[in-house]
Amino acid sequence: MDLFEQGLENEWLRQLGERGSRLTGPRRAIVRVLVRSRRALEPLELFDAVRVEAPGVGLVTVYRTLEALEELGLVQRIHESGGCRRYLRAPQGHQHVLLCLRCGQAELFDGDDLRPLFARVAARWGYQIEEHWLQLFGLCPECQKASA
Amino acid sequence: MDLFEQGLENEWLRQLGERGSRLTGPRRAIVRVLVRSRRALEPLELFDAVRVEAPGVGLVTVYRTLEALEELGLVQRIHESGGCRRYLRAPQGHQHVLLCLRCGQAELFDGDDLRPLFARVAARWGYQIEEHWLQLFGLCPECQKASA
DNA sequence: TTGGTATTGATAATGATTTTCATTATCAAT
DNA sequence: ATTGATAATGAAAATCATTATCAATACCAA
Ligand SMILES: [Mn+2]
Ligand SMILES: [Mn+2]
Ligand SMILES: [Zn+2]
Ligand SMILES: [Zn+2]
């Protein structure tokens, strides 16, 4: 078992509890899968994965748990040209997503400094910039080999 | 009448024709509204705006025309935290969107040079970067006044 | 002007997400 | 441990945006 993911799982459950949510079987199972996934998952994919270990869980509970985790900022919706219904572990701190176009694997990176750009744009248009989205798409090392 | 928008309207119709599409009344009306909008519009909003001048047009035709214009790259879907169903005139060349969080007004800016960042990320993760999304959100000058 | 056909709008179908509601499970207070 | 208030659950139904169907119409090349 991965120690980092184990810790993350406990932390998510703790935050759910903090918020007043009961720590139920279905929630534990859903959190367990989400924390460990390297890919962004659609509700139905998540549902299928959860049911492998917790067969009784309903799709509706998957939707409800995703909503709760999104409110807590533990999970984020991923936007893609093909659709925007997949969810991924949210980054900690200032990070952005790098997605593999072929297999969907996700990585988080940081180190972008866009402040000079924001300043120019703000000056040009008179906007007060509040937020920015940056997302990179490409081919992961495995998929590069596969398509070579 | 705005000359730039007039020209853009003609250009869109030309490209639709080029592609083998007939230049019908409904299409002309839809293009006219889209070309002139400073905001990204949902299909239903677009439908309502079109029906002011062309009352007979159906919602289905709005969807079909949006699809055609998106294929031609003349229109793009805008992604927001609240939903991803609005469409906006696509940028020409390398530009990105700046959106007002309050009124939805959209501006296009360029001048971002993220190549150094891409190079670092590519090296760090072994990805071959193919594409990037950058979007800024803020308050336009009018909305800043309104909320002051 | 005309004929072949792309386009249209009304309608029905679809599919993802939400709502409803009776039943069950959690957990703080005994 | 037991209890009991109530949060959470899953099945089923409802909703809502989008897509498919289809007979009638409008476009446009000839
Ligand atoms: Mn950033
Ligand atoms: Mn760019
Ligand atoms: Zn890959
Ligand atoms: Zn504004």
Mean pLDDT of chain A: 95
User: Do the Cβ atoms of B127 and A121 come within 8 Å?
Assistant: no
Comparing CA positions, the residue from A129, A115, A69, A105 lying closest to residue B107 is A129
Instruction: Give the tens place of pLDDT for each residue, B50-90.
Output: 999 999 999 999 999 999 999 999 999 999 999 999 999 99
Instruction: Give the pLDDT band of residue A93 (cuts 50, 70, 90).
Output: confident
Domains of chain B plus CATH, in order, are: 3-89 (1.10.10.10), 95-147 (3.30.1490.190)
Does residue A146 sit at the B interface (CB-CB below 8 Å)? no
The pLDDT value recorded for residue B65 is 98
Q: Enumerate the β-bridge partners of residue B86.
A: B78
Q: So what's the pLDDT on residue A6?
A: 94
**Which tokens is B73 given?**
């790259």
Whether the predicted pLDDT of A36 surpasses 90: yes
- How high is the pLDDT of residue B113? 87
A147 at interface of B, judged by CB pairs closer than 8 A? no
Q: Which helix (H) or strand (E) holds B143?
A: helix B141-147
Q: Is the pLDDT of residue A122 over 90?
A: yes
Which residues put CB within 7 Å of chain D, the nucleic strand?
Answer: A 20-22, 24, 26-27, 56-58, 60-61, 64-65; B 17, 22-25, 42-44, 59-60, 63, 67, 85
B7: its two tokens: 């020209």
Nucleotides of D under 7 A from a protein CB: 7-12, 17-21, 26-28
- Nearest Cβ partner of A134 from B109, B128, B134? B134
| pLDDT value, residue B147 | 86
The residue count of chain A comes to 148
Q: What pLDDT is recorded for position A21?
A: 96
Q: How confident is the model at residue A68 (pLDDT cuts 50, 70, 90)?
A: very high
Whether the CB of A82 is below 8 Å from some CB of chain B: the reply is: no
Q: What is the pLDDT of residue A91?
A: 92
Q: Decide if A63 touches B, using CB distance below 8 A.
A: no
Q: Each residue of B90-145: pLDDT tens digit?
A: 998 899 999 999 999 999 999 888 999 999 999 999 999 999 999 999 999 999 99
- What does the pLDDT read at residue B95? 95
Residue B107, pLDDT score: 96
This prediction has a pTM of 0.92
Q: Which residue of A has its CA nearest to B137?
A: A131
If you compute the radius of gyration of chain B from its CA atoms, what whole number of angstroms results? 18
Whether residue B30 has pLDDT greater than 90: yes
Give the pLDDT of residue B148.
Answer: 77
- Per-residue pLDDT band at A148 (split at 50, 70, 90): confident
Can you say whether residue B60 is alpha, beta or left, with left for phi > 0 and alpha for psi between -120 and 50 degrees? Answer: alpha
B60 close to B29: Cβ distance less than 8 angstroms: no
B32 touches strand C (CB under 7 A): no
What pLDDT score does B103 carry? 92
Dump the DSSP string for B43-110: HHHHHHHHHHH-TT--HHHHHHHHHHHHHTTSEEEEEETTEEEEEEEPPSSS-EEEEETTT-BEEEE-
